[in-house]
Amino acid sequence: MTMCKARFPRRACEKQNACGDFYAVRQGCRTLQSVKKGTIIMPFIIIAIFLAVAVLIWWIAASNKFRRISVKIAEAESGIDVALTKRFDVLTKQLDAAKAYAGYEKSTLLDIVGLRSGMSIAERSQANKSMDEAAKQISLLAESYPALGSNENFRQCQLAVTDVEEHLQAARRVYNSNVSAFNQAIAVFPGSVVAGAMKLSARPFFEAGEAKRQDVTLRF
């Protein structure tokens, strides 16, 4: 009886150890499966993070590109303003000289609508066309009065007009070049997505068409 009683605890211990080994193996398998799943998912997570960072960097670069071109357009607009102001001043001097000579026969009044700050590019273009018309009228007036064409002040103004017009044309080319680059950038995919989010729209060109008599009136 004593020997049998002594064997029962041993068998119980063996059974308990066997069960413990089973549970340990089962837990180890679960851990191994979890590690394998993590190993499979991790590359996808890394790729997703990489793509998100790449898209963010591209978005910032695209928006900065639009801002840089906008700054260049603003600088070109300032160049146009300077050129228009110079042209206005030269035409004013020519008109003063022309009135002195034309006044021998009849009163001459050449009114030019002055430039103002905050003009849109369309208004600047229209002001330039008006000054084109004034320049044509001054040339016709010089042909009618030969003494005017030989006037030293008038001749100097004529030379200044050439330089000013070249300056204006150069400013116009720079402006239109930047506007063209801007309009193409916001129209082409995928840059158009960023432009749409920034609510950007196409910029107008500085036109150099035929003169119209709107802001300039000539009365003899």
Region label for 113, one of left (φ > 0), alpha (ψ between -120 and 50) or beta (otherwise): beta
* Number of CB atoms found within 10 A of residue 112's CB: 18
How much is the pLDDT for 177?
A: 96
Residue 30 has pLDDT above 80, yes or no: no
- How many angstroms separate the CA atoms of 215 and 164, rounded? 20
Are the C-beta atoms of 92 and 131 separated by less than 8 Å? no
- Going by C-alpha positions, the residue among 125, 49, 139 that lies closest to residue 81 is 125
When the pLDDT of each residue in the chain is averaged and rounded to a whole number, the result is 76
pLDDT class of 33 with cuts at 50, 70, 90? low
For the chain, domain boundaries: 65-219
- How many angstroms separate the CA atoms of 111 and 102, rounded? 15
How much is the pLDDT for 114?
A: 56
The helices-and-strands tally (H runs, E runs) of the chain is 5, 2
The class level of CATH for 65-219 reads: mainly alpha
**pLDDT tens digits, one per residue of 138-158:** 888 888 877 777 777 888 888
pTM exceeding 0.75: no
